[in-house]
Each structure stands twice: as C-alpha cells, then as structure tokens.
C-alpha cells in the first residue's frame, strides 16, 4: 500500500465513535473498544456515560451525549433537530478537528446524514456514495468494493461515474489494490446494455484518466473477483447487496438443516465443519468492519448494527487506515485527475 | 388449482418448440421431448430436420426451419428480418393457431421479441414482463415469482403495477397459490422507501381490487417465502436474479472446495451429500422449466439455454399447464378487474 507523505502514526489517530446503536449492547462495545485501543488507536466515544463506564475504564475518552436517533425516525429531520444525539455529536467532533474519523454502528441513514451535514461534500461531488466490501467467496483476491449500496436511490449518470472514481481511489488507498479494475453493474457486458443511466456512465468512463475501466459486469459476477470496484445506483446496489446476503444466509441455513436431518449427515457435518471455517470467516460481516461513506470531506465508517466486538474493532481500524492512508485527499485527487469535477458542473 | 370452464385436455395441447438453441445439443433435446410426449403433450418442433430425426422418431412433428438467431445478434432486427428462423416460425405457429404455446431454450431476447411480435400484447398492457420462479430455498411453499427479470429495463410505475397483477394471475392459475401475496422489491419496507417509480407503484397497488398487496420487500426476502409475487423493473430484477444465482453458485462451490480440502472433510462431504439432495433439487434450474413472458396474447416459456432433458420437458409442461389453466385469459381478467387497463391509458 503506498503511503501518503504526511501520513500520521496510528497512535496519533483519534476516532469519534458513536456509543449508541450497537444492538448487542455495551459489553460488545466495550470489548470492541478494548481491541481497537490495543492497536494504539485513540477513541472518543459519545453516549450514555453509565453505559460507557467500561469503555472509559479501558482507556477511551467518554463524552456524554444524551440523545439517540432510532432507525424508525426520518434521518434528516432527526439529525437536524437533535444536536445532543450521539451520532450528531460524534460527527461534529470530526468536523471540529478533535477526531480524525467517524465510526457508528447505529442506523445507517442517521450516520450518513450526520456525516454529510457535518463534513460536507468533497469539491465537485454531487452525492456521497456508500461503499461496501463484498466477501471474497469466489476468489482469493482483495474484497470487491460495491457502491452505491444505498446512499442515493435517485442517481444520475454522473453519480455512477463519481462512485466509480471514488471507489477506485479507496480501493487503491485502503484496500491496497494498485490498479483497481473498475466496472459498472448492468444486465449484460455489451456497452449498450442496461438503463440509459448505465449506458451514459459507460461512455463517460471509457478512456477516463486514472481509471482502469473494464466495462459492465452482471449480478453473477459480484463474488467472482472480476472487478475490484463495481459501481451502480443506490437502489440497485442495495437490492443486490441484500440479495447476496440473503442468498448466502439461506443457502448456509439449508446446508445446516441438511446436516441436522439425520445422524449420518450430522457426522458428515461435524467432519466438514472445520474446513468450512475459511468460508465462514469470509462471509462474516464483522471481518470487513462496515461500509464507508465516500464523497464527504472526511472518513465515515458505517458499522453493522449487529456487530460483535471484532466488528466494532474492525470498523475503527478501517477508519484509522483510511485516515493514515489519506483516503479522502487521494479521492479528491483522483476526482480531479479524472475530470469528474468538470463533469459535476455540466 | 381452480380450473377454467373450457379447460382443454393435456392430450389436446400442442406446443411449438424451438428446436435450436439447446446448448447441450440434440440428444438432450430428444430426451426432453420424449419425456414431454410421454405426458401426452403434442409437440411441433422447428429446426434442422437432420438434427431433429430423433425427435421425429419419438413422435413429435418436425417442421424445417433453416434459420437460427444467435445470442450475439440484435434480437429486434434479427426477428424482423429472419422469417425462416426456428424461433420466428415457432412463434408464428402459435399466432396462427396451430400450436397453443411457444417454448424455446434459445436466446432470451430473440424468444421474447418473436413472442411479442407474433402474439402481440394483451389489451391494456404497456410492456410484457418476464417472470421467473425463484428456488424455495428458505421455505417450503410454492415458488416465489420474481418479475420483471429483464424484458423491459426502462420501466414506468404502471409497468411495475401491471407486472404485479400479471404475476398474481399466473401464480394463482399455474402455481396454484389461491391468494398470492404480492410485493414490490425495494430498499426498505416503508411505503416511502425506494425510487419515485416504486413509491408511485406502491400507492397504486394499495387497495387495488383482486390483489393481496403486502407492501415492499427487500433483496434479502427473495428466498424467504415472504411474498408469492415480487414485482420490480427489468433492470433491478435481472441484477437481483443473477446476484442470487451467482451467490448460490459461489457458496455451493466454496462448500465443495472445503470438502476437497483434506481427507477428513472429504469423508464429511460424502456423508453429508445425500442430505443435500433436497437443496440441490431446489436450486436446479431444470426443475422450474424456465421463465414465462407475461403480457402477451398467449403462452411463451423461455427455457434455460443450459437445460438438460428435464429442463426441456419441464418447460414444455409449464407451457401446457399455462394453456390448460387458461393463464392468459385469467391474466386479462385480473388486469381488467384491477383497473390496470384504465391505468394503462393514463
């Protein structure tokens, strides 16, 4: 992974962590915080000081944030009206320069909204985009980045192009892919396949500076390692991601059911189980740490609400790595190089 | 399954079968044809008489069709210009009343185009929609119908509504679901979630006569049996379907790899294998026979190019069942009842 010139040491990186929204409760949060602190990452955790006593004891700084935003609220009005909510205070901490990056396992909509309002968009970016790392089930390479996974359901061609560029910058800076292969998600490989949106984005990406655009890929290619970055609109990306997760879960559960269906199968399942460890780890959402909101002036990681301790720690580590690798600055540079700033002004 | 008043006997049903496009070759086609003939279904098969000698011997009628449309050609211009192509002749056979339904395992685009041009649209239908039966991996109910799987990538809200209605009619008539639960595919369950297209279709489906509309479902619900009919646009539906197929394949392959990774795991895999038969059958695309083009004046089944004999036979059986259950007529009736004809004229 190439490092930036003014790359800070991990021990100099401070993460603002939303101390609310971890579904599995404060013990899980505490354990995750301890793991991240052990890496030398500093943490400022926002929430209920009583619930966060263990976090403070472990060495994190705790800041009282009385308010909470639930996932049934409208994120925009909740974030606008609730200055004392933990996610809003944590985002303000990053905007104010006291922390370097934002991490939350709370509601995705509130996290994205708080990050966007506090950090603002990168110059020339029309809409931020949510990037997720897909499990490398069908290959042994680095994770494929799928974006937008749901930040913006009403996309223009320019949003797809910017997602592609921002994904490439992140893949290079943080996932260590030197020359990320960039693709558009469509219904066929030919350049004329897909919605007018996709066809237009395809035309703009062809020959773009700094981007290794390999054309369209299909839904069946998401896990195959054919591309390092796959760009789509937030509606399609969200449907594809949840379809992928739901299918993997259903197939996994069906294999488990089969292994419980009779005694011989049960023995088979026991003998096979250790060899499935690699697959299980690849499918474990805790391993990647969460999604990244790209296109804002700063680093914001959206952890899974269902995170275990490793999920919390890996979300914090992902944010710290993005800071130390200057992901935001390099995203801005690639956007400028690719001429996306100009495209944004069209 | 309720039967129509003038339901024909199976032995009176004639299927026009495209004798080209079966990737696995004429032996597979012959075997599939024999299986369907054994059910008492009559077959008229269009293609190369030499390659179809076995089919003729088995008792099907063979009609020479010298032309072939490949999946690299533009379907519209190919179908328009090639009267002698097997798929065009088979579709004309249905339009002319010599056969009751069309079945092809050739290129999907050419089959849909030939069916649409020859059979025309049902009254009030703006765009035909391609319906696929999803594997019942996560439940034991009848297959969930997903549509549109790719007939029309530029959808309006009305197209989603008509897909929902046509899917409900087909689920009731052919899959035997008495009161199909109908849903829209979106990025959240709330009625305001999704693109403007989805939100508008949601509003139109609420309270619609003859439709049990249960609201939005997400990508993770496709295999869960939460709905009997899931409507979406052809772009999203195609991406979701291929994501589902690709994920199931990747996870299955990873389990297979694990079972080959060491001798103990191999024994485990052998012991577990018989119990996985049910899952394997559920995932086998040959079991459902293929996709159905809804919204045309007649029955058209699009089989998988990779069909084995059972896939060919089941595609023919699906078409015959749609004829005997008056699927087309009942689709027209439900469209009228639901007021979709009026919506189509808006």
Q: pTM of the predicted model, to two decimals? A: 0.93
Helix (H) or strand (E) holding B292: strand B291-294
- Spatial separation of the C-alpha atoms in residues B146 and A92, rounded to whole Å: 44
pLDDT band at A59 (very low <50, low <70, confident <90, very high): very high
pLDDT score at B2: 39
Q: What share of chain A has pLDDT > 90, as a percent?
A: 82
Tell me: the pLDDT tens digits for A95-129?
A: 999 999 999 999 999 999 999 999 999 998 999 99
Tell me if B240 and A235 make a contact (CB, 8 A cut-off). no
B185 at the A interface (CB within 8 A)?
Answer: yes
Q: Coil, helix or strand for B210?
A: coil
Task: Find the helix or strand (DSSP H, E) in which B231 lies.
Answer: strand B229-231
Q: Is the pLDDT of residue A340 over 70?
A: no
Supply the pLDDT for residue B286. Answer: 86
Radius of gyration of chain B, Cα coordinates, nearest whole angstrom: 20
The model's confidence at residue A10, banded by pLDDT at 50, 70 and 90, is low
Contact B268 A272 (CB under 8 A): yes
pLDDT tens sequence across A141-159: 899 999 999 999 999 999 9
The Cα of A178 is separated from the nearest Cα of chain B by a number of Å equal to 26
Q: Please report which confidence band the pLDDT of residue A4 belongs to, taking 50, 70 and 90 as the band edges.
A: very low
- Flag if B275 and A254 touch (Cβ within 8 Å): no
Instruction: Give per-residue pLDDT as tens, A237-286.
Output: 999 999 999 999 999 999 999 999 999 999 999 999 999 998 988 888 88
Give the C-alpha distances (Å, rounded to integers) separating A62 from A31, A46, A80, A86, A112.
15, 6, 23, 11, 22
Residue B332, SS3 per DSSP: helix
**Which residue on chain B is closest to A253 by alpha carbon?**
B138
List CB contacts (< 8 A) between A240 and chain B.
Answer: 219, 239-240, 243
Are residues A239 and B187, on separate chains, in Cβ contact within 8 Å? yes
Ranges A5-19, A22-36, B282-296: which has the least confidence: A5-19
Q: Which position has the higher pLDDT, A8 or B31?
A: B31
Using a CB–CB cutoff of 8 Å, tell me whether B231 touches chain A.
no
- CB proximity B54 to A under 8 Å: no
Pick B235's closest partner by Cβ from A187, A238, A271.
A187
Q: What is the CA radius of gyration of chain A?
A: 20
Strand partners, B43: B15
Residue range A189-198: average pLDDT? 93
Largest CA distance in chain A: 66
**B250·A153 Cβ contact <8 A:** no
- Interface check for B281 against chain A (CB to CB < 8 A): the answer is no
Q: At what angle do helices A86-95 and A108-119 cross, to 10 degrees?
A: 30
Give every CB contact of residue A304 below 8 A, 6+ residues apart in sequence: A105, A285, A286, A290, A311
189-218 of B, contacting A, C-beta below 8 A: 194-196, 198, 218
pLDDT band at residue A6 using 50, 70 and 90 as cut-offs: low
User: Given pLDDT bands bounded at 50, 70 and 90, which one contains residue A173?
Assistant: very high
Q: Is A187 at the interface with chain B, CB within 8 A?
A: yes
Contact B246 A235 (CB under 8 A): no
Query: Over chain A, what HEC string results?
Result: CCCCCCCCCHHHCEEEEECCCCCCCHHHHHHHHHHHHHCCCEEEEEECCCCCHHHHHHCCEEEECCECCCCCCCHHHHHHHCCCEHHHHHHHHHHCCCCCEEEECCCHHHHHHHHHHHHCECCCCCCCEEEEECCCCCCCCCCCEEECCCCCCCCCHHHHHHHHHHHHHHHHHCCCCCCCEEEEECCCCCCCCCCHHHHHHHHHHCCCCCCEEEEEECHHHCCCCCCCEEECCHHHHHHHHHHHHHHHHHHHHHHHHHHCCCHHHHHHHHHHHHHHHHHHHHHCHHHCCCEEEECECCEEEECCCCCCHHHHHHHHHHHHHHHHCCHHHHHHHHHHHCCHHHHHHC
CA neighbours closer than 13 Å in the CB half-sphere of residue A249: 16
Looking at residue B175, what is its pLDDT? 94
pLDDT at B10: 65
The minimum CA-CA distance between B235 and chain A, rounded to whole Å, is: 7
Contact assignment for A258 to B278 by CB distance below 8 Å: yes
CA B108 – CA B319 distance, rounded (Å)? 16
Sign for the pseudo-dihedral over CA of B82, B84, B85, B91: positive
Query: 3-class DSSP state for residue B182?
Result: strand
Task: Tell me the residue ranges of DSSP E strands in B77-138.
Answer: 101-104, 129-134
Distance CA B63, CA B65 (A): 6
Interchain CB contact of B108 with A (< 8 Å): no
Q: How far is CA B343 from CA A4, A285, A329, in A?
A: 58, 44, 50
Q: Can you give the pLDDT of all 346 residues of chain B as single tens digits?
A: 334 445 556 668 999 999 998 888 888 999 999 999 999 999 999 999 999 999 999 999 999 999 999 988 999 999 999 999 999 999 999 999 999 999 999 999 999 999 999 999 999 899 999 999 999 888 888 999 999 999 999 999 999 999 999 999 999 999 999 999 999 999 999 999 999 999 999 999 998 988 999 999 999 999 999 999 999 999 999 999 999 999 999 999 999 999 999 999 999 999 999 999 989 888 888 888 899 999 999 999 999 888 899 999 999 999 999 999 999 999 999 999 887 545 544 4
Q: Do B247 and A249 touch (CB under 8 A)?
A: no
Token match 């799928």: residue?
A146
Interval A314-333: pLDDT, tens: 999 999 999 999 999 999 99
| Chain A positions in Cβ-Cβ contact with residue B187 (cut-off 8 Å) | 150, 153, 234-235, 238-239, 242
Contacts of A250 in chain B (CB under 8 A): 137-138, 223-224
């Amino acid at each position: 992974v190439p490092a930036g010139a003014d790359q800070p040491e991990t021990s100099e990186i401070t993460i603002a962590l939303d101390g609310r929204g971890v579904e599995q409760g404060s013990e899980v949060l505490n354990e995750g915080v301890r793991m991240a602190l052990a890496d030398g990452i500093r943490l400022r955790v926002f929430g209920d000081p009583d619930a966060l006593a263990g976090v403070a004891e472990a060495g994190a700084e705790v800041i009282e944030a009385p308010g909470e935003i639930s996932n049934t609220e409208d994120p925009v009005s909740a974030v606008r009206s609730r200055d004392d909510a933990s996610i809003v205070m944590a985002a303000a901490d990053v905007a104010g320069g006291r922390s370097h990056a934002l991490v939350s396992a709370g509601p995705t909509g509130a996290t994205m909204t708080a990050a966007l309002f506090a950090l603002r968009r990168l110059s020339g970016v029309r809409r931020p985009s949510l990037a997720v790392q897909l499990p490398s089930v069908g290959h042994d390479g680095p994770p494929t980045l799928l974006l937008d996974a749901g930040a913006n359901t009403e996309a223009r061609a320019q949003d797809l192009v910017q997602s592609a560029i921002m994904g490439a910058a992140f893949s290079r800076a943080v996932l260590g892919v030197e020359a990320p292969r960039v693709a558009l998600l469509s219904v066929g490989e030919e350049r004329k396949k897909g919605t007018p949106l996709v066809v237009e984005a395809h035309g703009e990406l062809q020959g773009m500076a700094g981007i290794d655009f390999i054309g369209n890929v299909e839904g069946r290619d998401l896990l195959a390692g054919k591309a390092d970055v796959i760009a789509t609109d937030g509606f399609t990306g969200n449907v594809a991601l949840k379809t992928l997760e739901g299918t993997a879960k259903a197939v996994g559960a069906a294999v488990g059911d089969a292994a419980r269906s009779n005694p011989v199968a049960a023995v088979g399942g026991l003998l096979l189980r250790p060899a499935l460890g690699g697959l299980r780890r690849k499918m474990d959402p805790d391993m990647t740490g969460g999604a990244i909101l790209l296109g804002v002036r700063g680093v914001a990681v959206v952890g899974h609400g269902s995170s275990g301790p490793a999920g919390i720690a890996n979300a914090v580590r992902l944010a710290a790595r993005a800071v130390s690798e200057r992901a935001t600055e390099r995203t801005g540079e690639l956007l400028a190089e690719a001429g996306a700033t100009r495209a944004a002004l069209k």
